[in-house]
Structure 1
Amino acid sequence: MSQTKEAFAKATALDTEIAVSTRNICKNYGAVEALKNLSLDFPRGQLTSLLGPSGCGKTTLLKIIAGLLEPTSGEVEVNGRLVTGPGPNRAFVFQDFALLPWASVMRNVAFGLELRGVAKSEREAIAERYIREVGLAGFEKSFPHELSGGMRQRVGLARALSVDAKVLLLDEPFSAVDEQTRRKFQEDMLNLVAHENKTFIFVTHSIEEAVFISDQIAILLPRPSRVSEIIRPTGFRNRDMGNIRRDPEYLDIVDQIWASLRSYVE
Protein backbone atom coordinates (compact mmCIF):
# COMPACT_ATOMS: atom_id res chain seq x y z
CA MET A 1 0.00 0.00 0.00
CA SER A 2 1.30 3.47 -0.80
CA GLN A 3 2.09 5.78 2.12
CA THR A 4 -0.71 8.14 1.03
CA LYS A 5 -3.33 5.37 0.93
CA GLU A 6 -2.10 3.89 4.19
CA ALA A 7 -2.23 7.27 5.94
CA PHE A 8 -5.72 7.90 4.56
CA ALA A 9 -6.95 4.50 5.73
CA LYS A 10 -5.53 5.05 9.21
CA ALA A 11 -6.98 8.55 9.47
CA THR A 12 -10.39 7.28 8.38
CA ALA A 13 -10.28 4.46 10.91
CA LEU A 14 -9.43 6.90 13.68
CA ASP A 15 -12.42 9.07 12.75
CA THR A 16 -14.88 6.17 12.60
CA GLU A 17 -16.27 4.04 15.41
CA ILE A 18 -15.24 0.42 15.02
CA ALA A 19 -17.89 -2.32 15.29
CA VAL A 20 -15.73 -5.39 14.67
CA SER A 21 -12.00 -5.88 15.21
CA THR A 22 -9.89 -8.90 14.29
CA ARG A 23 -6.49 -9.05 15.94
CA ASN A 24 -3.63 -11.27 14.77
CA ILE A 25 -5.95 -14.01 13.55
CA CYS A 26 -4.23 -17.26 12.59
CA LYS A 27 -6.07 -20.33 11.34
CA ASN A 28 -4.43 -23.65 10.53
CA TYR A 29 -6.02 -26.72 8.99
CA GLY A 30 -3.43 -29.32 9.89
CA ALA A 31 -0.27 -28.31 8.05
CA VAL A 32 -2.15 -25.76 5.92
CA GLU A 33 -1.83 -22.17 7.15
CA ALA A 34 -4.99 -20.41 5.97
CA LEU A 35 -4.72 -17.10 7.88
CA LYS A 36 -1.60 -15.57 9.39
CA ASN A 37 -1.64 -12.66 11.84
CA LEU A 38 -4.57 -11.05 10.07
CA SER A 39 -5.75 -7.81 11.69
CA LEU A 40 -8.58 -5.68 10.34
CA ASP A 41 -11.13 -3.18 11.68
CA PHE A 42 -14.69 -2.92 10.37
CA PRO A 43 -16.30 0.54 10.78
CA ARG A 44 -19.74 0.68 12.36
CA GLY A 45 -22.65 1.29 10.00
CA GLN A 46 -20.60 0.64 6.88
CA LEU A 47 -20.09 -2.17 4.39
CA THR A 48 -16.66 -3.76 4.15
CA SER A 49 -15.93 -6.22 1.35
CA LEU A 50 -13.35 -8.98 1.67
CA LEU A 51 -11.82 -9.42 -1.76
CA GLY A 52 -9.04 -11.69 -2.94
CA PRO A 53 -8.14 -14.73 -5.03
CA SER A 54 -9.94 -18.04 -4.56
CA GLY A 55 -8.77 -19.93 -1.49
CA CYS A 56 -7.33 -16.88 0.26
CA GLY A 57 -9.43 -17.35 3.39
CA LYS A 58 -12.27 -14.85 2.95
CA THR A 59 -14.99 -17.26 4.05
CA THR A 60 -12.76 -18.65 6.81
CA LEU A 61 -12.36 -15.15 8.25
CA LEU A 62 -16.12 -14.53 7.96
CA LYS A 63 -16.92 -17.74 9.85
CA ILE A 64 -14.40 -16.86 12.57
CA ILE A 65 -16.11 -13.49 13.03
CA ALA A 66 -19.46 -15.31 13.14
CA GLY A 67 -18.15 -17.63 15.85
CA LEU A 68 -18.72 -20.66 13.62
CA LEU A 69 -14.98 -21.40 13.48
CA GLU A 70 -12.43 -21.01 16.25
CA PRO A 71 -9.13 -19.33 15.29
CA THR A 72 -5.89 -21.14 16.01
CA SER A 73 -4.76 -17.91 17.66
CA GLY A 74 -5.80 -14.28 17.80
CA GLU A 75 -9.13 -12.77 18.78
CA VAL A 76 -12.24 -11.08 17.46
CA GLU A 77 -14.20 -8.35 19.22
CA VAL A 78 -17.71 -7.26 18.30
CA ASN A 79 -18.82 -4.00 19.89
CA GLY A 80 -15.96 -4.35 22.38
CA ARG A 81 -16.86 -7.89 23.48
CA LEU A 82 -14.72 -10.92 22.78
CA VAL A 83 -16.23 -13.47 20.39
CA THR A 84 -16.29 -16.98 21.87
CA GLY A 85 -18.99 -18.47 19.62
CA PRO A 86 -22.16 -17.53 17.69
CA GLY A 87 -24.26 -14.76 19.20
CA PRO A 88 -27.38 -12.69 18.57
CA ASN A 89 -25.32 -9.63 17.66
CA ARG A 90 -24.30 -11.32 14.36
CA ALA A 91 -26.36 -12.86 11.55
CA PHE A 92 -25.03 -14.94 8.65
CA VAL A 93 -26.36 -14.94 5.08
CA PHE A 94 -25.20 -18.11 3.34
CA GLN A 95 -24.25 -18.48 -0.30
CA ASP A 96 -26.59 -21.48 -0.72
CA PHE A 97 -29.65 -19.79 0.87
CA ALA A 98 -29.96 -22.36 3.76
CA LEU A 99 -33.74 -22.07 3.85
CA LEU A 100 -36.15 -24.51 5.48
CA PRO A 101 -37.70 -26.26 2.44
CA TRP A 102 -40.90 -27.20 4.31
CA ALA A 103 -41.55 -23.67 5.61
CA SER A 104 -43.22 -20.71 3.92
CA VAL A 105 -41.41 -17.45 3.24
CA MET A 106 -43.03 -15.97 6.34
CA ARG A 107 -41.93 -18.88 8.53
CA ASN A 108 -38.40 -18.84 7.12
CA VAL A 109 -37.98 -15.10 7.69
CA ALA A 110 -39.44 -15.29 11.19
CA PHE A 111 -37.56 -18.46 12.16
CA GLY A 112 -34.74 -16.76 14.07
CA LEU A 113 -37.29 -14.80 16.10
CA GLU A 114 -39.25 -18.00 16.72
CA LEU A 115 -36.12 -19.62 18.16
CA ARG A 116 -35.78 -16.66 20.50
CA GLY A 117 -39.31 -17.14 21.79
CA VAL A 118 -40.81 -14.00 20.25
CA ALA A 119 -44.61 -14.17 20.15
CA LYS A 120 -46.10 -15.20 16.81
CA SER A 121 -47.94 -11.94 16.14
CA GLU A 122 -44.83 -9.87 16.87
CA ARG A 123 -42.41 -12.00 14.88
CA GLU A 124 -44.73 -12.11 11.87
CA ALA A 125 -45.13 -8.33 11.96
CA ILE A 126 -41.33 -7.94 11.96
CA ALA A 127 -40.94 -10.57 9.24
CA GLU A 128 -43.59 -8.89 7.11
CA ARG A 129 -41.67 -5.61 7.27
CA TYR A 130 -38.46 -7.17 5.99
CA ILE A 131 -40.23 -9.32 3.39
CA ARG A 132 -41.61 -6.07 2.02
CA GLU A 133 -38.23 -4.33 2.31
CA VAL A 134 -36.43 -6.95 0.20
CA GLY A 135 -39.13 -6.85 -2.47
CA LEU A 136 -41.06 -10.06 -1.70
CA ALA A 137 -44.42 -8.63 -0.64
CA GLY A 138 -47.13 -11.00 -1.82
CA PHE A 139 -44.95 -14.11 -1.48
CA GLU A 140 -45.37 -14.61 2.27
CA LYS A 141 -47.17 -17.94 1.81
CA SER A 142 -44.89 -19.29 -0.93
CA PHE A 143 -42.38 -22.08 -0.35
CA PRO A 144 -38.70 -22.09 -1.37
CA HIS A 145 -39.22 -24.51 -4.29
CA GLU A 146 -41.74 -22.06 -5.77
CA LEU A 147 -39.18 -19.21 -5.84
CA SER A 148 -36.35 -18.30 -8.17
CA GLY A 149 -32.77 -18.34 -6.90
CA GLY A 150 -32.81 -14.58 -6.54
CA MET A 151 -36.02 -14.66 -4.55
CA ARG A 152 -34.67 -17.38 -2.25
CA GLN A 153 -31.62 -15.24 -1.56
CA ARG A 154 -33.89 -12.33 -0.69
CA VAL A 155 -35.61 -14.60 1.85
CA GLY A 156 -32.23 -15.37 3.42
CA LEU A 157 -31.39 -11.67 3.59
CA ALA A 158 -34.78 -10.81 5.12
CA ARG A 159 -34.28 -13.53 7.74
CA ALA A 160 -30.90 -12.06 8.73
CA LEU A 161 -32.35 -8.55 8.92
CA SER A 162 -35.36 -9.62 10.98
CA VAL A 163 -33.35 -10.77 14.00
CA ASP A 164 -31.97 -7.22 14.31
CA ALA A 165 -28.35 -8.31 14.58
CA LYS A 166 -25.99 -5.35 14.53
CA VAL A 167 -23.48 -7.14 12.28
CA LEU A 168 -24.51 -8.93 9.07
CA LEU A 169 -22.06 -11.42 7.56
CA LEU A 170 -22.69 -12.19 3.89
CA ASP A 171 -20.83 -14.99 2.12
CA GLU A 172 -21.04 -14.30 -1.63
CA PRO A 173 -24.80 -13.86 -1.35
CA PHE A 174 -25.30 -12.84 -5.00
CA SER A 175 -23.08 -15.38 -6.74
CA ALA A 176 -25.89 -17.79 -7.67
CA VAL A 177 -28.10 -15.28 -9.50
CA ASP A 178 -28.04 -13.90 -13.03
CA GLU A 179 -26.28 -10.63 -13.84
CA GLN A 180 -29.43 -8.52 -14.02
CA THR A 181 -30.66 -9.76 -10.64
CA ARG A 182 -27.19 -9.31 -9.19
CA ARG A 183 -27.09 -5.66 -10.20
CA LYS A 184 -30.50 -5.07 -8.64
CA PHE A 185 -29.31 -6.79 -5.45
CA GLN A 186 -26.27 -4.51 -5.37
CA GLU A 187 -28.45 -1.42 -5.57
CA ASP A 188 -30.74 -2.83 -2.87
CA MET A 189 -27.69 -3.45 -0.69
CA LEU A 190 -26.64 0.19 -0.94
CA ASN A 191 -30.13 1.20 0.25
CA LEU A 192 -29.98 -1.26 3.16
CA VAL A 193 -26.59 0.05 4.28
CA ALA A 194 -27.90 3.61 4.12
CA HIS A 195 -31.06 2.94 6.14
CA GLU A 196 -30.50 -0.04 8.45
CA ASN A 197 -27.69 1.32 10.69
CA LYS A 198 -25.94 -2.06 10.67
CA THR A 199 -22.40 -3.17 9.93
CA PHE A 200 -22.09 -5.36 6.83
CA ILE A 201 -19.14 -7.68 6.13
CA PHE A 202 -19.39 -8.98 2.59
CA VAL A 203 -17.35 -11.70 0.86
CA THR A 204 -17.16 -11.46 -2.93
CA HIS A 205 -14.97 -12.56 -5.84
CA SER A 206 -16.18 -9.69 -8.00
CA ILE A 207 -13.98 -6.59 -8.14
CA GLU A 208 -16.75 -4.54 -9.75
CA GLU A 209 -19.25 -5.60 -7.08
CA ALA A 210 -16.86 -4.76 -4.25
CA VAL A 211 -16.17 -1.27 -5.60
CA PHE A 212 -19.86 -0.59 -6.26
CA ILE A 213 -21.23 -1.53 -2.84
CA SER A 214 -18.36 -0.96 -0.40
CA ASP A 215 -17.37 1.80 1.97
CA GLN A 216 -14.18 -0.17 2.60
CA ILE A 217 -12.48 -2.93 0.58
CA ALA A 218 -9.92 -5.20 2.24
CA ILE A 219 -7.77 -7.03 -0.28
CA LEU A 220 -6.45 -10.32 1.06
CA LEU A 221 -3.28 -12.06 -0.12
CA PRO A 222 -3.17 -15.75 -1.05
CA ARG A 223 -2.55 -18.34 1.66
CA PRO A 224 -1.46 -17.71 4.33
CA SER A 225 -3.82 -14.80 4.08
CA ARG A 226 -3.29 -11.34 5.51
CA VAL A 227 -4.47 -7.87 4.50
CA SER A 228 -2.57 -6.54 1.50
CA GLU A 229 -4.37 -3.24 1.04
CA ILE A 230 -7.37 -1.25 2.25
CA ILE A 231 -9.25 0.94 -0.20
CA ARG A 232 -12.06 3.33 0.67
CA PRO A 233 -14.01 4.57 -2.38
CA THR A 234 -15.37 8.05 -1.64
CA GLY A 235 -15.84 10.29 -4.66
CA PHE A 236 -18.92 8.60 -6.14
CA ARG A 237 -20.54 7.36 -2.91
CA ASN A 238 -23.35 9.95 -2.83
CA ARG A 239 -24.09 10.00 -6.56
CA ASP A 240 -26.98 8.45 -8.42
CA MET A 241 -26.55 4.66 -8.47
CA GLY A 242 -27.21 4.54 -12.20
CA ASN A 243 -24.06 6.57 -12.86
CA ILE A 244 -21.61 4.90 -10.49
CA ARG A 245 -20.34 2.32 -12.98
CA ARG A 246 -19.39 5.11 -15.40
CA ASP A 247 -17.66 7.24 -12.78
CA PRO A 248 -13.92 7.74 -13.48
CA GLU A 249 -12.98 6.99 -9.85
CA TYR A 250 -15.01 3.77 -9.92
CA LEU A 251 -13.28 2.65 -13.11
CA ASP A 252 -9.84 3.64 -11.80
CA ILE A 253 -10.32 1.67 -8.56
CA VAL A 254 -11.51 -1.41 -10.46
CA ASP A 255 -8.38 -1.23 -12.64
CA GLN A 256 -6.15 -0.64 -9.62
CA ILE A 257 -7.50 -3.68 -7.78
CA TRP A 258 -7.21 -5.88 -10.86
CA ALA A 259 -3.58 -4.79 -11.24
CA SER A 260 -2.99 -5.83 -7.60
CA LEU A 261 -4.66 -9.23 -8.00
CA ARG A 262 -3.66 -10.16 -11.56
CA SER A 263 -0.46 -11.95 -10.58
CA TYR A 264 -2.36 -14.21 -8.13
CA VAL A 265 -4.85 -15.50 -10.70
CA GLU A 266 -3.88 -18.89 -12.09
Structure 2
Amino acid sequence: MTATAHHFFADPSPVTDCAVSVLNVGKIYAEAVTALENINVDFPRGQLTSLLGPSGCGKTTLLKIIAGLLPPSSGEVLVDDRPVAGPGPERAFVFQDFALLPWANVLRNVAFGLKMRGIARGEREEIARSYIAQVGLAGFEARYPHELSGGMRQRVGLARALAVNADVLLMDEPFSAVDEQTRRKFQEDLLTLIAREKKTFIFVTHSIEEAVYVSDRIVLLSPRPGRIAQIIEPAIERGGDPDAIRRHPVYLDTVDAIWQSLKTYLE
Protein backbone atom coordinates (compact mmCIF):
# COMPACT_ATOMS: atom_id res chain seq x y z
CA MET A 1 0.00 0.00 0.00
CA THR A 2 1.58 3.22 -1.12
CA ALA A 3 1.75 6.31 1.07
CA THR A 4 1.96 8.93 -1.65
CA ALA A 5 -0.54 11.32 -0.11
CA HIS A 6 -0.03 13.89 -2.86
CA HIS A 7 -1.77 11.49 -5.27
CA PHE A 8 -5.12 11.83 -3.49
CA PHE A 9 -6.47 14.57 -5.75
CA ALA A 10 -4.24 14.14 -8.77
CA ASP A 11 -5.85 14.22 -12.21
CA PRO A 12 -7.53 10.83 -12.72
CA SER A 13 -5.99 8.38 -15.13
CA PRO A 14 -7.56 8.40 -18.62
CA VAL A 15 -10.06 5.58 -19.10
CA THR A 16 -8.74 3.38 -21.88
CA ASP A 17 -11.25 0.53 -21.48
CA CYS A 18 -14.63 2.05 -20.79
CA ALA A 19 -17.69 -0.03 -19.88
CA VAL A 20 -20.10 2.91 -19.41
CA SER A 21 -19.93 6.46 -20.74
CA VAL A 22 -22.20 9.27 -19.54
CA LEU A 23 -22.27 12.08 -22.10
CA ASN A 24 -23.67 15.54 -21.29
CA VAL A 25 -26.45 14.05 -19.19
CA GLY A 26 -28.97 16.30 -17.50
CA LYS A 27 -32.18 15.50 -15.66
CA ILE A 28 -35.05 17.90 -15.00
CA TYR A 29 -38.09 16.57 -13.18
CA ALA A 30 -41.64 17.62 -14.07
CA GLU A 31 -41.78 20.08 -11.19
CA ALA A 32 -38.90 22.01 -12.82
CA VAL A 33 -36.31 20.65 -10.39
CA THR A 34 -32.91 20.25 -12.06
CA ALA A 35 -31.38 17.13 -10.51
CA LEU A 36 -28.36 16.73 -12.80
CA GLU A 37 -26.58 19.09 -15.17
CA ASN A 38 -23.95 18.38 -17.84
CA ILE A 39 -22.64 15.10 -16.42
CA ASN A 40 -19.69 13.70 -18.36
CA VAL A 41 -17.93 10.69 -16.87
CA ASP A 42 -16.53 7.32 -17.97
CA PHE A 43 -16.64 4.17 -15.85
CA PRO A 44 -13.61 1.86 -16.31
CA ARG A 45 -14.30 -1.78 -17.06
CA GLY A 46 -13.62 -4.21 -14.22
CA GLN A 47 -13.42 -1.52 -11.54
CA LEU A 48 -15.69 -0.20 -8.80
CA THR A 49 -16.61 3.46 -9.09
CA SER A 50 -18.54 5.14 -6.28
CA LEU A 51 -20.92 8.06 -6.69
CA LEU A 52 -20.52 10.24 -3.60
CA GLY A 53 -21.91 13.63 -2.63
CA PRO A 54 -24.34 15.56 -0.43
CA SER A 55 -27.93 14.38 -0.03
CA GLY A 56 -30.03 15.42 -3.01
CA CYS A 57 -27.10 15.77 -5.41
CA GLY A 58 -28.53 13.24 -7.88
CA LYS A 59 -26.48 10.11 -7.15
CA THR A 60 -29.42 7.70 -7.35
CA THR A 61 -30.92 9.62 -10.27
CA LEU A 62 -27.70 9.14 -12.23
CA LEU A 63 -27.57 5.45 -11.30
CA LYS A 64 -31.16 4.92 -12.50
CA ILE A 65 -30.42 6.73 -15.77
CA ILE A 66 -27.47 4.38 -16.34
CA ALA A 67 -29.77 1.45 -15.51
CA GLY A 68 -32.32 2.64 -18.04
CA LEU A 69 -34.95 3.03 -15.32
CA LEU A 70 -35.14 6.82 -15.87
CA PRO A 71 -34.72 8.70 -19.16
CA PRO A 72 -32.29 11.63 -19.17
CA SER A 73 -33.68 15.04 -20.08
CA SER A 74 -30.56 15.65 -22.16
CA GLY A 75 -27.47 13.74 -23.23
CA GLU A 76 -27.07 9.99 -23.40
CA VAL A 77 -25.52 6.95 -21.75
CA LEU A 78 -23.49 4.38 -23.68
CA VAL A 79 -22.83 0.84 -22.47
CA ASP A 80 -20.15 -0.84 -24.58
CA ASP A 81 -20.63 2.02 -27.05
CA ARG A 82 -24.35 1.26 -27.46
CA PRO A 83 -26.94 3.89 -26.41
CA VAL A 84 -29.10 3.02 -23.41
CA ALA A 85 -32.82 3.15 -24.23
CA GLY A 86 -34.06 1.18 -21.20
CA PRO A 87 -33.06 -1.72 -18.97
CA GLY A 88 -30.85 -4.32 -20.62
CA PRO A 89 -29.30 -7.72 -19.86
CA GLU A 90 -25.80 -6.26 -19.64
CA ARG A 91 -26.83 -4.31 -16.49
CA ALA A 92 -28.18 -5.54 -13.15
CA PHE A 93 -29.50 -3.38 -10.30
CA VAL A 94 -29.12 -4.04 -6.56
CA PHE A 95 -31.80 -2.00 -4.79
CA GLN A 96 -31.42 -0.30 -1.42
CA ASP A 97 -34.65 -1.90 -0.17
CA PHE A 98 -33.70 -5.41 -1.42
CA ALA A 99 -36.80 -5.63 -3.73
CA LEU A 100 -37.26 -9.35 -3.06
CA LEU A 101 -40.39 -11.29 -3.97
CA PRO A 102 -42.04 -11.95 -0.58
CA TRP A 103 -43.87 -15.08 -1.78
CA ALA A 104 -40.71 -16.70 -3.20
CA ASN A 105 -37.97 -18.50 -1.29
CA VAL A 106 -34.30 -17.61 -1.56
CA LEU A 107 -33.67 -20.03 -4.44
CA ARG A 108 -36.57 -18.70 -6.50
CA ASN A 109 -35.65 -15.07 -5.75
CA VAL A 110 -32.07 -15.56 -6.91
CA ALA A 111 -33.21 -17.49 -9.99
CA PHE A 112 -35.92 -14.95 -10.90
CA GLY A 113 -33.89 -12.96 -13.43
CA LEU A 114 -32.76 -16.17 -15.11
CA LYS A 115 -36.38 -17.32 -15.36
CA MET A 116 -37.28 -14.03 -17.06
CA ARG A 117 -34.55 -14.77 -19.61
CA GLY A 118 -36.03 -18.15 -20.41
CA ILE A 119 -33.34 -20.28 -18.77
CA ALA A 120 -34.55 -23.83 -18.07
CA ARG A 121 -35.44 -24.57 -14.45
CA GLY A 122 -32.65 -27.05 -13.76
CA GLU A 123 -29.96 -24.77 -15.19
CA ARG A 124 -31.20 -21.63 -13.49
CA GLU A 125 -31.45 -23.34 -10.11
CA GLU A 126 -27.91 -24.68 -10.47
CA ILE A 127 -26.63 -21.19 -11.25
CA ALA A 128 -28.67 -19.71 -8.39
CA ARG A 129 -27.31 -22.23 -5.88
CA SER A 130 -23.76 -21.35 -6.91
CA TYR A 131 -24.27 -17.64 -6.22
CA ILE A 132 -26.22 -18.30 -3.03
CA ALA A 133 -23.15 -20.16 -1.80
CA GLN A 134 -20.84 -17.34 -2.95
CA VAL A 135 -22.67 -14.79 -0.81
CA GLY A 136 -22.62 -17.09 2.23
CA LEU A 137 -26.22 -18.30 2.24
CA ALA A 138 -25.80 -22.00 1.44
CA GLY A 139 -28.44 -23.90 3.43
CA PHE A 140 -30.96 -21.04 3.28
CA GLU A 141 -32.33 -21.80 -0.19
CA ALA A 142 -35.81 -22.74 1.13
CA ARG A 143 -36.16 -19.74 3.47
CA TYR A 144 -38.50 -16.84 2.67
CA PRO A 145 -37.56 -13.15 2.93
CA HIS A 146 -39.53 -12.62 6.15
CA GLU A 147 -37.43 -15.37 7.76
CA LEU A 148 -34.14 -13.58 7.00
CA SER A 149 -32.29 -10.72 8.66
CA GLY A 150 -31.75 -7.48 6.76
CA GLY A 151 -28.16 -8.47 6.00
CA MET A 152 -29.24 -11.84 4.66
CA ARG A 153 -31.93 -10.26 2.46
CA GLN A 154 -29.31 -7.94 1.01
CA ARG A 155 -27.10 -10.94 0.23
CA VAL A 156 -30.04 -12.48 -1.64
CA GLY A 157 -30.39 -9.28 -3.68
CA LEU A 158 -26.70 -9.32 -4.51
CA ALA A 159 -26.79 -13.02 -5.46
CA ARG A 160 -29.75 -12.34 -7.77
CA ALA A 161 -27.85 -9.54 -9.52
CA LEU A 162 -24.73 -11.69 -9.90
CA ALA A 163 -26.67 -14.70 -11.16
CA VAL A 164 -27.78 -13.04 -14.41
CA ASN A 165 -24.09 -12.55 -15.30
CA ALA A 166 -24.49 -8.90 -16.26
CA ASP A 167 -21.33 -7.00 -17.16
CA VAL A 168 -22.30 -3.95 -15.09
CA LEU A 169 -23.68 -4.10 -11.54
CA LEU A 170 -25.44 -0.97 -10.29
CA MET A 171 -25.71 -0.77 -6.50
CA ASP A 172 -27.84 1.87 -4.75
CA GLU A 173 -26.59 2.23 -1.16
CA PRO A 174 -26.73 -1.54 -0.79
CA PHE A 175 -25.38 -1.65 2.76
CA SER A 176 -27.20 1.32 4.32
CA ALA A 177 -29.94 -0.76 6.01
CA VAL A 178 -27.65 -3.06 7.99
CA ASP A 179 -25.70 -2.57 11.23
CA GLU A 180 -22.12 -1.35 11.21
CA GLN A 181 -20.54 -4.76 11.84
CA THR A 182 -22.50 -6.35 8.98
CA ARG A 183 -21.73 -3.39 6.76
CA ARG A 184 -17.98 -3.80 7.27
CA LYS A 185 -18.20 -7.51 6.48
CA PHE A 186 -20.18 -6.72 3.32
CA GLN A 187 -17.51 -4.23 2.26
CA GLU A 188 -14.79 -6.86 2.66
CA ASP A 189 -16.89 -9.43 0.78
CA LEU A 190 -17.49 -6.91 -2.00
CA LEU A 191 -13.74 -6.48 -2.58
CA THR A 192 -13.46 -10.28 -2.90
CA LEU A 193 -16.37 -10.34 -5.37
CA ILE A 194 -14.83 -7.57 -7.48
CA ALA A 195 -11.56 -9.48 -7.72
CA ARG A 196 -13.32 -12.74 -8.57
CA GLU A 197 -16.07 -11.56 -10.92
CA LYS A 198 -14.07 -8.98 -12.94
CA LYS A 199 -17.25 -6.98 -13.50
CA THR A 200 -17.87 -3.23 -13.54
CA PHE A 201 -19.51 -1.94 -10.36
CA ILE A 202 -21.16 1.48 -10.00
CA PHE A 203 -21.89 2.07 -6.35
CA VAL A 204 -23.92 4.83 -4.67
CA THR A 205 -23.04 5.62 -1.06
CA HIS A 206 -23.38 8.46 1.45
CA SER A 207 -20.38 7.20 3.40
CA ILE A 208 -16.97 8.71 2.69
CA GLU A 209 -15.28 5.87 4.60
CA GLU A 210 -17.12 3.24 2.57
CA ALA A 211 -16.33 4.94 -0.73
CA VAL A 212 -12.61 5.16 0.04
CA TYR A 213 -12.50 1.55 1.28
CA VAL A 214 -14.17 -0.13 -1.71
CA SER A 215 -13.52 2.18 -4.67
CA ASP A 216 -11.01 2.30 -7.48
CA ARG A 217 -12.55 5.66 -8.41
CA ILE A 218 -14.81 8.09 -6.58
CA VAL A 219 -16.99 10.51 -8.57
CA LEU A 220 -17.77 13.42 -6.27
CA LEU A 221 -20.98 15.28 -7.16
CA SER A 222 -21.82 18.85 -6.18
CA PRO A 223 -25.12 19.81 -4.50
CA ARG A 224 -28.19 20.03 -6.75
CA PRO A 225 -28.05 20.44 -9.59
CA GLY A 226 -25.53 17.63 -9.46
CA ARG A 227 -22.36 18.25 -11.45
CA ILE A 228 -19.00 16.46 -11.45
CA ALA A 229 -16.99 18.24 -8.77
CA GLN A 230 -13.98 15.90 -8.66
CA ILE A 231 -12.87 12.43 -9.68
CA ILE A 232 -10.63 10.83 -7.07
CA GLU A 233 -8.53 7.69 -7.36
CA PRO A 234 -7.58 6.57 -3.84
CA ALA A 235 -3.90 5.61 -3.80
CA ILE A 236 -4.63 2.36 -1.98
CA GLU A 237 -3.52 -1.15 -2.89
CA ARG A 238 -6.13 -3.62 -1.67
CA GLY A 239 -5.04 -7.07 -0.63
CA GLY A 240 -3.84 -8.85 2.45
CA ASP A 241 -5.43 -7.93 5.76
CA PRO A 242 -8.62 -5.93 4.97
CA ASP A 243 -8.57 -4.29 8.40
CA ALA A 244 -5.12 -2.87 7.65
CA ILE A 245 -6.65 -0.58 5.01
CA ARG A 246 -8.78 1.20 7.62
CA ARG A 247 -5.74 1.86 9.80
CA HIS A 248 -3.42 3.02 7.04
CA PRO A 249 -2.50 6.74 6.90
CA VAL A 250 -3.37 6.89 3.18
CA TYR A 251 -6.90 5.69 3.87
CA LEU A 252 -7.36 8.03 6.83
CA ASP A 253 -5.91 11.05 5.04
CA THR A 254 -8.01 10.39 1.92
CA VAL A 255 -11.19 10.20 4.00
CA ASP A 256 -10.28 13.48 5.69
CA ALA A 257 -9.39 15.19 2.40
CA ILE A 258 -12.76 14.24 0.87
CA TRP A 259 -14.58 15.39 4.01
CA GLN A 260 -12.83 18.77 3.85
CA SER A 261 -13.92 19.08 0.23
CA LEU A 262 -17.54 18.08 0.94
CA LYS A 263 -17.69 20.29 4.02
CA THR A 264 -17.39 23.40 1.86
CA TYR A 265 -20.81 22.57 0.38
CA LEU A 266 -22.37 22.53 3.85
CA GLU A 267 -21.09 25.91 5.01
TM normalised by structure 2 equals 0.95
Conservation of the 8 A alpha-carbon contact between 1:236 and 1:247: no
Q: Residue 72 of structure 2 corresponds to which residue in structure 1?
A: 71
Structure-2 residue corresponding to 1:20:
20
**2:90 matches 1:89:** yes
Map of 1:140 onto structure 2: 141
- 1:264 has 2:265 as partner: yes
- Can you list the C-alpha shifts for 1:125-183, whole angstroms capped at 9, x where unaligned? 00001000000000000000000000000000000000000000000000000000000
In the alignment, which residue of structure 2 is the partner of 1:124? Answer: 125
Contact 1:57 1:225 in 2 (8 A): yes
1:244: which partner in 2?
A: 245
| 1:4 CA displacement | 7.5
TM-score (norm 1): 0.95
Distance in 1, Cα, partners of 2:145 & 2:14: 41
SS in 1 for 2:99: coil
Shift in CA distance, 73/6, structure 1 to aligned 2, threshold 3 Å: farther
Separation in structure 2 between the aligned mates of residue 25 and residue 165 of structure 1, nearest angstrom: 23
Q: Secondary structure at the match of 2:14?
A: helix
State the AA in 2 paired with 1:93.
V
Contact 2:9–2:233 (Cα < 8 Å) also in 1 = no
Contact residue 105 and residue 144 of structure 1 kept, 8 A: yes
Unaligned runs of 5+ in 1: none
| Cα distance in 1 between the residues matched to 2:121 and 2:258 | 47
CA–CA distance in structure 2, aligned partners of residues 207 and 236 of structure 1: 18
Equivalent residues in 2 for 1:5-44 (5 A)? 8-9=11-12, 12-14=13-15, 16-30=16-30, 31-44=32-45
Tell me the residue number matched to 1:230.
231
**Identical counterparts, % of pairs:** 69
After superposition, the C-alpha distances for 1:93-150 in whole angstroms (9 at most, x for unaligned) are: 0000000000000000000001111001100000001000000000000000000000
Alpha-carbon shift at residue 235 of structure 1 (Å): 3.1
Q: In 2, distance between residues paired with 1:117 and 1:201?
A: 27
SS state at 1:74 partner: strand
Inter-partner Cα distance in structure 1 for 2:187 and 2:62: 22
Contact 1:236 1:249 in 2 (8 A): no
Secondary structure of residue in 2 paired with 1:262: helix
Taking the aligned partners of 1:216 and 1:115, their CA distance within structure 2 comes to: 33
- Aligned partner of 2:3 in structure 1 is none
SS of 1:152's equivalent in the other structure is: helix
Unaligned runs of 5+ in 2: 1-5
Whichever residue aligns with residue 79 of structure 2, its letter is V
The CA deviation at 1:197 is 1.2
Deviation digits for residues 39-61 of structure 1 (CA, Å, limit 9, x no counterpart)? 11100000000000000000000
Does the 8 Å contact 1:13/1:43 carry over to 2? no
CA displacement at 1:251 relative to structure 2? 0.5
Query: Structure 1 residues 123-132 or 236-245, which shifts more?
Result: 236-245
- 1:92 maps to a residue whose letter is F
**Could you say if the C-alpha distance between residues 178 and 5 of structure 1 is closer, same or farther in structure 2, counting changes exceeding 3 Å?**
closer
CA apart distance, 1:32 = 1.0
Inter-partner Cα distance in structure 2 for 1:245 and 1:94: 26
Deviates more, 1:100-109 or 1:16-25: 16-25
In structure 1, C-alpha distance between the alignment counterparts of 2:9 and 2:248, rounded to whole Å: 23
SS at match of 1:68: coil
Residues 1:231 and 1:93: Cα distance change in structure 2 (over 3 Å)? same
